[in-house]
Amino acid sequence: MSTPPPTSSSDRPDARQLETLLAAAVVLVLLVTAAVAGVVAVTRRGPDAAPTYAQPVAAPVPADAGARDTWAADAAGRSGVPGRALLAYAGAEAAARDELADCGLSWVTLAGLGRVESDHGRFGDTALDDAGRPLDPIRGPELDGTGGNRTIRDTDGGRLDGDTTYDRAVGPLQFIPTTWDLYGADGDGDGVRSPDDLDDAALAAARYLCADDRDLRRGDDWRAAVLAYNRSNAYVDRVRREARGAADATS
């Protein structure tokens, strides 16, 4: 075996070079650590600014559709919410666990909205049929700027609301056409998205409430979500009273 030639001094890093390399490595570690810390600081949620508005707590609805039928029949008698409406709200909560897992949506929020917006599809002495649709279509007033309403000129050619001059809110959860175009859903899997179908409207409302990465278990996020539906503090308070009533009645 031959002896390897000696390494010349020019081939070996001197102490100064080693110090420089070590210092550069330390700086790199510090920069990476600072960057990670910055990301965490940006993404970490701060304290809940409005904890008293946290979504009323209710037990999760059953994941199985058959079990939800039994649950709705029982909860209807105690809550005063029609069983068919409860099925729609419960179905939206169950779907949101997969699609909107970080949102924490409960059916009671949808029940609060449904009560305020259309008395769960019974506005105008109508009622929900077995498919979850009001027997008579529910339409809001023309959004022509009167009566405290916004002015929204027709955006859908009357396709959803039947009005070619101004927009109107449509269905038991009162979606305006532009919002429905963004969040419309097929909650019952029949291949059609319709704001007149409470199954569809409930899932669309879940998507709308959970937008912008909201966590409805936080009071500030829950309040912001309901304000997005109707920019009125009195509206938010009423929805929360109705949601809490539904939760208390079924707890």
Q: Summarize pLDDT for 101-142 with one digit per residue, the tens.
A: 899 999 999 999 999 999 999 999 999 999 999 999 999 999
Taking residue 7's Cβ as centre, other Cβ atoms within 10 Å add up to: 8
Q: Summarize pLDDT for 63-98 with one digit per residue, the tens.
A: 999 999 999 999 999 999 999 999 999 999 999 999
pTM (2 d.p.): 0.82
The answer to whether 107 and 86 are in contact (CB under 8 A) is: yes
How much is the CA Rg of the chain, to the nearest whole Å? 28
How far apart CA 170 and CA 167 sit, in angstroms, is 9
